[in-house]
Amino acid sequence: MGYTEDTLYATKIDPSVANLKVALACDSIRMNVNNVVGNATVSDSIGILISHSNIVKGGENALNDIFTFNRAKIKITHGGNDFSCSIDTTKLRVVRTDSTKAMYFDLHECLTSLGIMGLVKGDSVNFDGLFTVNPDGPYNFRFEKIPNLRAMGYQVVDDSLYACDNYGDVFRVGRSKALFSFGGAKDSIFGCREANIEVKLTMFNNDFSTFFGEEYRKAVGVDSVFLTFDPNFVRGFKTEVEASIPNHPAFGNDYFPLPNLDTTGFYALRFDTLKIVPSLNRLTDFAFNLRVKATPNCGTVTASQNGNNVYAFKPKVHYRDRFYALELGDGSCSPYLIDSAATGNDVIVYNDPPALSFESITNPNITIVNDTAEWKLKICNTSAKGKC
């Protein structure tokens, strides 16, 4: 379960007020199937069947499961007495037909190990299973219903499967998606204007709040940012570095200053101790933004290591995706990932510098007849973009 707020993430939400019919990738799911025996005596060859169709019919994940089975507790009521046993993945058989998956759970050994050779009218079999939503399952980022989600109990007689009723449920799954963008101002630094070079994280809008309401989940945790750049960049530009992390415990939604770049050509920022991260509930322009404010100077056009206006600038981000899943199990469902600027987008080009012209309006040759001489001069910037 998520939290009641995203300021401290201190209090887990009460399941009674949460939407239990929707889940994110890596969430743990509890499925309960209850069967009551009718008029016919049931033999010891019994089982539970849970089936569904894929949300996404094709693609590389089509053969993957949406639900990964972990274990189940079986409660059998026979003759007014309760018996219980547990099953694991060895009792599961999965049958795939096109985009439909059927999970057969064999309860034969469970029943016979309890000394119960048959069930009679009024007896019951309850399956309480724990599953995980497979992060690589065949479903989309948006929350969608799992088609044809059904369950039933059955018995096998002479290799034939018999069952009375099957029931369905409406359940939705979806996944979060982190989108990093690098640059922002890489192609728009010109003249003497200040420009922002950004490392920005935004979250894909999958209508999270529509389905989760006031249950808050952590989005993405940025661990560190590394910038490798032309050492002469700080000579060609006046720089300042700042960052904004919405809902930051100290700075809120404001930008806060960070140490500046230097001539080493390498810059590292670590946020690995920051545990308060943006939630999936809040739709903002970004979930993280590091920006270098760069202002050109008179030498920018030739200040790079190559003596021109092209500066190497390669950002790289280390982060934990699905930060909410760090609390699930061993935390491995919150992968540690690296993203960086693509080749071709890892340079900064300074364009359209001011183009100054100098012109004498009056005749440059003046005959001085008193103690004062006056020349009228005009200095112009003829660049259409490079204003100063």
**pLDDT digits over 366-388, tens only?**
888 888 888 899 988 888 777 77
Looking up tokens 């100098």 gives 358
Q: What is the pLDDT of residue 368?
A: 86
Q: What is the pLDDT of residue 186?
A: 55
Rounded distance, CA 220 to CA 202, Å? 10
Rounded distance, CA 79 to CA 318, Å? 59
Q: Looking at this protein, which amino acid is placed at residue 302?
A: T
Looking up tokens 């969430």 gives 27
16-174 and 178-351: identical CATH topology: yes
Q: What is the pLDDT of residue 177?
A: 92
Fold held by 178-351: Immunoglobulin-like (2.60.40)
Rounded distance, CA 176 to CA 174, Å? 7
φ, ψ (nearest 5 deg) of residue 304: -65, 170
CATH code matching the domain that covers 16-174, chosen among 2.160.10.10, 3.10.450.50, 2.60.40.1510, 3.30.2270.10:
2.60.40.1510
Rounded distance, CA 278 to CA 244, Å? 11
> What are the sequence ranges of the domains in the chain?
16-174, 178-351
Across 109-122, b (16+ Cβ under 10 Å) vs e yields ebbeeeebeebeee
Q: What is the pLDDT of residue 258?
A: 97
Distance of CA 7 to the CA centre of its chain: 19
The residue ranges of the chain whose pLDDT is under 50 are none
Rounded distance, CA 313 to CA 347, Å? 5
**Using alpha carbons only, how large is the chain's radius of gyration in Å?**
33
Burial of 144 (0-12, 13-18, 19+ CB in 10 A): middle
Q: What is the pLDDT of residue 383?
A: 80
Say if CB 52 and CB 148 are below 8 A apart.
Answer: yes
DSSP-assigned letter for residue 106: E
pTM over 0.75: yes
Rounded distance, CA 261 to CA 309, Å? 19
Say if CB 314 and CB 340 are below 8 A apart.
Answer: yes
> CA nearest 281: which of 178, 171, 206, 175?
206
Q: What is the pLDDT of residue 40?
A: 86
Looking up tokens 């933004």 gives 289
Distance in angstroms between the alpha carbons of the first and the last residue of the chain: 55
Q: What is the pLDDT of residue 184?
A: 55
Say if CB 263 and CB 204 are below 8 A apart.
Answer: no
